[in-house]
């Protein structure tokens, strides 16, 4: 992959749309892509590894991180708290390497305010029916939690227009390709500067 510009990219979208699946596919193809590991107060699902999928922390430690400005953003989602540790993201960007966050809508809005240059990508389902069947098919939540997540998903879908780009997760490989393209795309200012230079270049 061509060396991407150091840019913060946020991938968001409703629970069950396939964010984790698409990010895992990106990492499988491009292990060099750096993905932030969030802290969460949620209990690990079977197979989830502490420090790899999440840093699983207790409520007290989460409070401490918030109080000490240790999180770039954080949100409460379906009864649990989730946040992005700030220092590793800063280190990545300072080193000139891109950073990818996979977070929900309230967090994406906070990043928009705190890091206005960040690229906000919304992962959308091909249809509402596909979203419902993916969330149920994953089988990791009790029906009551699934309904709570679907109610949130409806509001999250309405927010797609706030994002810079919408990627439809119709097919995992195709969506992963599109996301990789976005990660490696120069920021718009540089893109338009280059286009302007190309337009004014003599034939």
Taking CB within 5 to 8 Å according to partner kind, which of ligand ADP, ligand 5GP, none is near residue 163? none
- Please provide the DSSP assignment of 101-158 as one string: EE--HHHHHHHHHH-TTPEEEEEE-S-HHHHHHHHHHH--S-HHHHHHHHHHHHHHHH
The footprint of ligand 5GP on residues 13-52 (CB under 6 A) is 15, 19, 38, 42
Among 22, 33, 57, 77, binds ligand 5GP (CB under 6 A): 77
Count of residues of this chain found to bind ligand ADP when the rule CB under 6 A is applied: 13
Give ∠ CA 6-12-18 in degrees, rounded to 5: 115
> To the nearest whole angstrom, how small is the minimum distance from the Cβ of residue 73 to ligand 5GP?
6
Name which of 82 and 163 has its Cβ closer to ligand 5GP. Answer: 82
The footprint of ligand ADP on residues 2-21 (CB under 6 A) is 15-21
Task: Specify the stretch interacting with ligand 5GP by CB under 6 A; choose among 25-33, 102-110, 124-132, 191-199.
Answer: 102-110
Closest CA to 83 of 69, 97, 99: 69
**Other beta carbons within 10 Å of 100:** 23
Give ∠ CA 177-77-70 in degrees, rounded to 5: 85
Burial of 14 (0-12, 13-18, 19+ CB in 10 A): buried
Among 73, 125, 167, 183, binds ligand 5GP (CB under 6 A): 73
Q: Please give the residue ranges that form the binding site for ligand ADP (CB under 6 A).
A: 15-21, 134, 137-138, 169, 171-172
> Which positions touch ligand 5GP (CB under 6 A)?
15, 19, 38, 42, 73-75, 77, 82-84, 102-104, 106-107
């Amino acid at each position: 992959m061509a060396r991407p510009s150091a840019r913060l990219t946020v991938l968001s979208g409703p629970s069950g749309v396939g964010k984790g699946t698409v990010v895992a596919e990106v990492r499988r193809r491009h292990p060099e892509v750096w993905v932030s590991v969030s802290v969460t107060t949620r209990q690990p699902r079977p197979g989830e590894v502490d420090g790899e999928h999440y840093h699983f922390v207790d409520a007290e430690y989460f409070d401490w991180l918030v109080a000490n400005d240790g999180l770039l953003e954080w949100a409460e989602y379906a009864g649990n708290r989730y946040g992005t540790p700030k220092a590793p993201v800063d280190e990545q960007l300072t080193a000139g390497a891109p950073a990818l966050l996979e977070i929900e809508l309230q967090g994406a809005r906070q990043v928009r305010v705190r890091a206005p240059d960040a690229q906000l990508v919304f992962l959308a389902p091909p249809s509402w029916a596909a979203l419902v069947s993916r969330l149920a098919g994953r089988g990791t939540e009790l029906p009551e939690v699934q309904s709570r997540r679907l109610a949130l998903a409806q509001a999250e879908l309405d927010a797609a227009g706030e994002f810079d780009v919408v990627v439809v997760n119709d097919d995992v490989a195709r969506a992963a390709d599109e996301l990789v393209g976005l990660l490696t795309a120069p920021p718009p200012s540089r893109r338009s500067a280059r286009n302007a230079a190309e337009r004014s270049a003599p034939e």
